[in-house]
Structure formats: structure tokens, C-alpha cells
Amino acid sequence: MSSDVLATLVPQPVSASARPGSLALPAQVGIWRDDGAAAAADLLTIELSRATGLRFAPAAREAAQIVLHSDGDSGEHYRIEIDERRASISGSPAGLIHGVYTLRQLLPAANWRAAPLPGVAWNLPACLIEDRPRFGWRGCMLDTARHFSPKQTILRFVDLLAMHHFNRLHLHLTDDQGWRVEIKAFPKLTEVGSHRANTGLGFAVSATEPHDGTPHGGYYTQDDLREIVAYAAARGIIVMPEIELPGHARALIAAYPEFGCLPDEPVDVGTYFGISRDLVNPLPHTIAALETIFEELLTIFPSPWIHVGGDEAPLERWRDSPAIRAHIASLGLPDAEAMRTWFTAHFAEFLNARGRRLVGWDEIIHYGGLTPSSVIMSWRGEKGGMKAAQEGYDVLMAPVFPTYFDYAQDEGADEPLSIGQSVLLEDVYAYEPSARWPDKASFDKVLGVQCQLWREVILDEAHLEYMAFPRVCALAEVAWSETRDDFAAFRQRLAHHLARLDAYGVNYRPLAGPRPWQQGGAGRKAYQPRFNLKEALANLDQWAESGEPPAEHLAD
């Protein structure tokens, strides 16, 4: 193994220097670890024994080929030192997990396969690597509501995120088009709300637009989700669930009309997209039901952060309902806007009392009612995040440009279906979260960055991987690396790194463009972006000045 492999690491470490020689791993690899390194040692043993065919067995420290030592600190720093006798990984318990994944990048790409290949020499280059992340939050949002991702897809995605030193998986579990989490107190959420009769073609925003005629659905049992949480935790990733409220709730209301604003006018699970007018009502019986839902959710997800959405919630149904208006008056509130503030405050305090932190999309910074521990996810550009940070809230940067990976990777008829034009790999790599920040002191409130894989038009798992990769690789470096190469140097490193994705079997977009079978063609995956990104960005910048969705974005 040449020391040239140091020049292919993604994300780029703080420092990496080659030394003479290499370490050849024998058929039986001795491994020593202290108590604080147990999780990392178990992960290394499980992953490498499967992929290499080597046997890993406990050994005395001086005789071991691999040594893992925890310094007991917090943080995610690690140090790798390899010579001809052994490979040593030291650092914080969380950092050791990242050290394991960097060690795997130093091995031949075949170690990312699920079974050993014949004739591979498992050698590690002698080197010294010292590394730590720039941001504490390095996340990816996966929308399972619009198009359902089977459990195995989630587990596979966890592996790919861990490969790139991500540490947060944000699962968008509910929306107008589907409810994906089993709630035992309300079984109709999955009996009714987890599936729809068909799906609008492209980004259909009306039932009158063409639909595919194919039923779609699925959900995760609570044990499925506990499995995902445990699998992710072993790989250094915390799973944050999202239950969208009070808007994006049509699937919930289809299952339980009494929680909607028009209980005598039942709705179906959404088959088209856009912003629905169907909100949950803020009446006492609904608040009690939502609390029960959250209580069950908290038993599944130990995440300190619970996402409650809060975005794109037009209030006309609240204003038009006599029962809701009467309830607003009974609380001494002046209007529906004040009721929305009360709604946000109620669940912020509910979660805070249970040791959890409410996370919401940036509209909620305009509503008020937040607790000091609330976190704002800035998606409509960066203004919402700036406003939140200046008011003292922690912030996650997730702006449409360039972190929404449902936009095309390039502009051209060869690309598959996307929601809009286009977020290039170079755009992602060039993103600097602090670049437009007016107040550098408040930038300290930025916890990190996150990419989004919304799935209105990402139709299947191959399409999902195509839209994610290699842009995820670029964002990994934005999130992890304190300093970055220019794009040309990154692209050169990435060209080598793609061999690892090949070994894992990822359906990524090649740097030269889509393969023939990845192209959109002329069928339902044809390239037909609905949104012009430059126009969308201008509208979002204006929209970010308030919490109200534009009327033209409402679905029919």
C-alpha cells in the first residue's frame, strides 16, 4: 500500500504525514483496547473481519497489531500512528469511531465489500494522522414520508454517512404524503396514514395533474426504529426524528379527522405535493393526543434533539373554524398567529421538561414561544439562522442552496428527474457557512451544517443514491475540515475515493456525468425541474423575512 493513499482521504484530515514502511496485517490480527475504546474495537472487528476474512483476536498490548486507546475526553478528535509493527488509534471515545473509518480508508478499497476477495494484500501505510472536526453537527436529512425508504436502505445509508464522518441522521418521518412511525396508542396512523392510493407525477401540486396510479406506502415498527438507532449509535451517529406540526399533517388527519380543522370533511393521505392547508387543530383533545405521540417517540429515540417541523403552516383553517376561534379566545389570545406561538411554546416546554431540545425549521423564529434550548434549522437561505443566532439560539445551517440535494446535479436532459436546477458538486464544496455572516460573534451559535434529501421526486433507492453522491462527500468536507483544498484538488482526491463507493456498490453520479442507465430518459424519470433555482432563491430570500408561506406555493 503506497503512502499516496494519504492524498485520497475524504474528508481531508487536519494533518497527515507519510513515514517509511508499511504494516502488513497477518491472517490473525491481534487487537488491544482499553475500556473506553470497547465500542470502536467492536466496530473495527465486525467491519473488517467480514470484509477482509482476517481473524481479529484480543492480544497483549505489545504483541497487538492494532491498539485502541481512549483518552476519556469529550469531542471527536483522534490520532492514528502506524509503523511496521502496529497501528495505534487514540482519542476521545467518539473520535475513535472516526479513527476506525479513516483507518479503513487507508486499506485497499476492497475492505468496503461485504465479503473478502482473493489475493488482496491488507497493508497499511506507515503514517501519522491527527484530526478533529470543525463542526459538532454534521448531518443529513432523509425524507421517508414522500417516498418510503425500507429499513435496509436506512442502515445502508448510515454506513455511508459514517464513512464520511457524519454524526447526525435526521429522519423526516411524517408529512402530508405518509406517516412512517408506529404509534401504539393511535394504530390508524399506520393502518391508514402510512399509505396512499397513488403519487403525482413529477412535482404535482394538484389531484388534477397526472398521477402514476400505483399505491405507495410503508412504515417502521418501533423495534425497526430502535434497531436503526442502535446501529447508527455504534457508528457514531445520533438519529433525530421529525414529526411535522402543525402543518404537513394531512396523513395524520386522514387517519384521525378529529385532529384536523374540518372533522366533518375527511381527507385522504396526500397524493400530490406543495403546501397543504390541512393543519392539526390546537384544541385540547388534539394537544393531548400529540403529547401521547411524543411520549412514545421519546421511548424510541434517545436523541437530545426532537424536530417538530413548524414550517409552511398557513393559518386560514384555524381562522375559519368557530371551535378554534372560541378556543383562542378562551386562552385570552388575540388571533391565530398568537395561537401558533402558544402551540410552539407548549411543545418546546413539553420537550424541555423531558430533557429534550425542540428543533424547528426557520419559520419558527418568527413565531416566538421558544425555550432558550430551542434550535433553529435555517433552510430559506441563511437569514433565518442569522436572526436566530443574534437572538441567542443555537442554529443549524441547511440552506436550499447548496444543501438541498433534490435539486439536479447538473443542467441537461441526461439528468434524471429533480425538483429544480441545479446544485453542482462544486457549489456544495464551495459553501462556507460563515462567509455572509454579518456578526462573527453570533456565528459561534452555529452548531453545524446539514444536507437534505427531500423525496417528492426521488422515486427509488438507486435514484436516492444518485442524488446523494458524490455531493455528500463534498458536504462532509465542508462540515469536517477546518481548511480545504481548492475544488480541483478535492476533485482529484474524490476521483480516487469513488473506488471505495464502487466497492460498496453505491449508485453515485460519475464526475463525467450520468451513466446511460442513470439518465432520466423520456419516461417518468425524465429531467423536468419544476423550479428555477435562481428565481427560487430570490423568492426564498424575501420569504425568509416572515414566517408565512407565499400563496403561490399552496397546493390545490
CATH number reported for the structural domain that contains residue 75 in this entry: 3.30.379.10
Residue 403: which residues within 8 A CB-CB, separation 6 or more?
397, 423, 428, 431, 449, 450, 451, 452, 475
Please state, in angstroms and as integers, the Cα–Cα distance from residue 549 to each residue in 160, 312, 334, 347, 540, following that order. 34, 5, 21, 22, 10
Residue 133 phi/psi, 5° resolution? Answer: -85, 155
For residues 90 and 198, membership in a common domain is answered with no
| Inter-CA distances, 178 with 201, 226, 286, 352, Å | 16, 20, 19, 27
CA gap 115, 189 in Å, rounded: 40
Check whether residue 380 and residue 448 sit in a common domain: yes
* Judgement on whether residues 126 and 155 belong to the same structural domain of the protein: no
Whether 372 and 251 share a structural domain = yes
- Residues 366, 236: one domain? yes
Same domain, yes or no: 82 and 144:
no
DSSP secondary structure letter of residue 483: S
pLDDT attached to residue 538: 79
Cell of 264: 366533518
Beta bridge partners of 420: 531
Known catalytic membership, residue 159: no
Q: Considering the candidates 77, 216, 248, 497, report the single residue annotated as catalytic.
A: 248
CB 451 within 8 A of CB 470: no
Q: Residues 122, 159: one domain? A: no
Cell of 243: 414529526
| 309 φ/ψ angles, rounded to the nearest 5 degrees | 70, -110
Peptide bond into 11 cis (omega under 30): yes
Fill in the DSSP letter of residue 36: G
Please tell me the predicted confidence (pLDDT) of residue 3: 57
Under 8 Å between Cβ of 248 and 309: yes
Among 322, 279, 307, which Cα is nearest to 172's? 307
Count of domains observed in the chain:
2
The single residue of 312, 362, 394, 465 carrying the catalytic annotation is 312
Q: Do 346 and 441 belong together in one domain?
A: yes
Helix (H, G, I), strand (E, B) or coil at 223: helix
Look up residue 54 and give its three cell numbers.
482476517
Dig out the grid coordinates for 85 from the structure.
Answer: 509493527
Residues 198 and 254 in one domain: yes
**Cβ(193)–Cβ(254) below 8 Å:** yes
Secondary structure letter of residue 511 according to DSSP: T
70 and 93 Cβ atoms separated by less than 8 Å:
yes
The distance in angstroms from the start CA to the end CA of the chain is 60
3-state secondary structure 66-96: EEEEECCCCCCCEEEEECCCCEEEEECHHHH
Residue 312: active-site member: yes
- Helix, coil or strand: residue 373: coil
The domain that holds 324 is classified in CATH as 3.20.20.80
C-alpha cell at 437: 455572516
| Residue 150 grid coordinates | 425500507
Q: Point out the catalytic residue in the list 131, 143, 175, 427.
A: 175
- Asked whether 141 and 451 are in contact (CB, 8 A), the reply is yes
Which of 131, 159, 185 is the last residue before a domain boundary?
Answer: 131
Could you tell me the three cell numbers for 179?
406517516
pTM of the model: 0.97
pLDDT at position 398? 98
User: Does one domain contain both 225 and 209?
Assistant: yes
DSSP annotation of 280:
B
Among 102, 131, 160, which residue terminates a domain? 131
Q: Do 444 and 304 reside in the same domain of the chain? A: yes
Residues 6+ apart with CB under 8 A from 551: none
Q: State whether 125 and 195 are in the same domain.
A: no
Question: Where is the domain boundary, 81, 106, 131?
Answer: 131
Residue 439: per-residue pLDDT: 87
**Residue ranges making up the domain that contains 33:** 3-131
What distances in angstroms separate CA 546 from CA 46, 384, 535, one per listed residue?
50, 9, 18
224 assigned to active site: no
Per-residue pLDDT 10s for the chain (556 aa) are 455 899 999 999 999 999 999 999 999 999 999 999 999 999 999 999 999 999 999 999 999 999 999 999 999 999 999 999 999 999 999 999 999 999 999 999 999 999 999 999 999 999 999 999 999 999 999 999 999 999 999 999 999 999 999 999 999 999 999 999 999 999 999 999 999 999 999 999 998 999 999 999 999 999 999 999 999 999 999 999 999 999 999 999 999 999 999 999 989 999 999 999 999 999 999 999 999 999 999 999 999 999 999 999 999 999 999 999 999 999 999 999 999 999 999 999 999 999 999 999 999 999 899 999 999 999 999 999 999 999 999 999 999 999 999 999 999 889 999 999 899 999 999 999 999 998 888 999 999 999 999 999 999 999 999 999 999 999 999 999 999 989 999 999 999 999 999 999 999 999 999 999 999 999 999 998 888 887 878 777 778 887 778 776 788 6
- DSSP H or E segment with residue 116: none
Identify which of 201, 370, 214, 230 has the alpha carbon closest to the alpha carbon of residue 300: 230
Give the integer Cα–Cα distance in Å for 252 and 292: 14
